[in-house]
Amino acid sequence: MAEFTMELNDEQKEVRDWLHGFAADVIRPAAAEWDEREETPWPVIQEAAKVGIYSLDFYAQQYFDATGLGIPMAMEELFWGDAGIALSIVGTGLAAVGVLANGTEEQIGTWIPQMYGDADDVKVAAFCSSEPDAGSDVASMRTRAVYDEAKDEWVINGTKTWATNGGIANVHVVVAVVDPELGSKGHASFIVPPNTPGLAQGQKFKKHGIRASHTAEVILDNVRVPGSCLLGGKEKLDERLARAREKAKKGGERVKNAAMATFEASRPAVGAMAVGTARAAYEVALDYAGTREQFGRPIIDNQGVAFQLADMRTQIDAARLLVWRASWMAVNGKPFTAAEGSMSKLFASETAKKVTAQAIQILGGNGYTREYPVERMHRDAAIYTIFEGTSEIQRLVIARTISGMPIR
């Protein structure tokens, strides 16, 4: 077990500086263009693939970093560059985590490489959980998977929404109901391979922020996938469902569902994304406050501005520490006895919204224009309190965890 530390080692610092350079030289100069175009920035993703950032090997190295700091460090630097483009680069990771959290070794080895492709033929993947009537309330999920024993195939029908890379992905990971009577405990995750008949992109959403990241509905109409595409395998699923039925009869403890396992693993990473966006806005505001003069002196000489910057920096550092703690705990098998993963996402995402709003205020009229990046950063920051569990859901998870109440 790695000791918890707030100091990056030399190798981590080297990776951080490399990522920061890519974010500064490649991502940030392209940010405004792709935000306006509201399209997937394939050239930037391909450039990330060429240098090794968009690759299974890179994310595996960070994911298995014994300190737990590899992923949050990478997320912070990339999202410091731009949230929309960075999400296009890392969005595949959520689907990969879904396979890592629920799949067998064979499934991991087979499907995750196909999610990324290679530098000459870049691919993306999508994790499909939310539905039009089931976002935070995963128990209301309606997408159904029915087993066809004669053909050893699963037949999936339903509509998913808010799917990053939905419809344009090479591989889709779909969460579906296999036993409606068990509610959220009756869910399972499935791989939908490339070019599977019946899967189609629905509405592509035009969003307030992260506009360079593709978000769309995914329609599943009698989609048939082989039995081998059930993550974890049928034997494991049958055992889990049997335990859930028995505990339901006894009113016993909860069983973790497939979507929740993925979100628990990814929440600190989302917190790190928020830290990156907040830090970027803070740095713009700090630089502006030191050079912008009013009444014959830099505006940072005014306490009203200086105190805002002091609070911004304090909140960013506090958010990073919560993210690092949760990431270290997750990698080292420490249970989130006080919902530390949700704490990190909650505080970091709320900090990003607040800090980016303060940055606009410090820049005044300039901050409200697209000539400066803080208005885009503020639009981007709004998503952190919504996706992968709203702030309200994080508070609910924290409250129920510390009180001993069940999390449904």
99 Cα distance to chain centroid: 14
Tokens of 157: 């029908």
219-228, 296-305, 376-385, range with the lowest pLDDT: 296-305
- Which pLDDT tens digit goes with each residue over 14-64? 999 999 999 999 999 999 999 999 999 999 999 999 999 999 889 889 988
Residues forming a β-bridge with 190: 174, 230
> Over the range 276-285, which residues count as b (16 or more CB within 10 Å of their CB) and which as e?
bbbbbbbebb
Q: Is 227 exposed, middle or buried (0-12, 13-18, 19+ CB in 10 A)?
A: middle
Q: Nearest-CA neighbor of 327 among 52, 10, 11, 12?
A: 12
The active-site residue, picked from 77, 350, 375, 388, is 388
Residue the block writes with tokens 């909860």:
254
Helices and strands: H and E segment counts in the chain = 14, 11
Which residues are within 8 A (CB) of 252 and not within 5 positions of it... i.e. 6 or more apart? Answer: 246
Residues 228-254, mean pLDDT to the nearest whole number: 84
177 Cα distance to chain centroid: 23
- Which pLDDT tens digit goes with each residue over 214-230? 999 999 999 999 999 99
- Which pLDDT tens digit goes with each residue over 69-114? 999 999 999 999 999 999 999 999 989 988 988 999 999 999 999 9
- Of the chain, the end-to-end C-alpha distance in Å amounts to 31
Amino acid present at 342? S
264 catalytically annotated: no
Question: What pLDDT, on the 0 to 100 scale, is given for residue 262?
Answer: 52
Question: What pLDDT, on the 0 to 100 scale, is given for residue 264?
Answer: 61
DSSP 3-state assignment of 133? Answer: coil
pTM of the model: 0.91
pLDDT of residue 253 exceeding 50: no
Residues 187-195, mean pLDDT to the nearest whole number: 96
> How big is the chain, counted in residues?
408
- Which pLDDT tens digit goes with each residue over 269-292? 999 999 999 999 999 999 999 999
For the chain, the average pLDDT equals 92
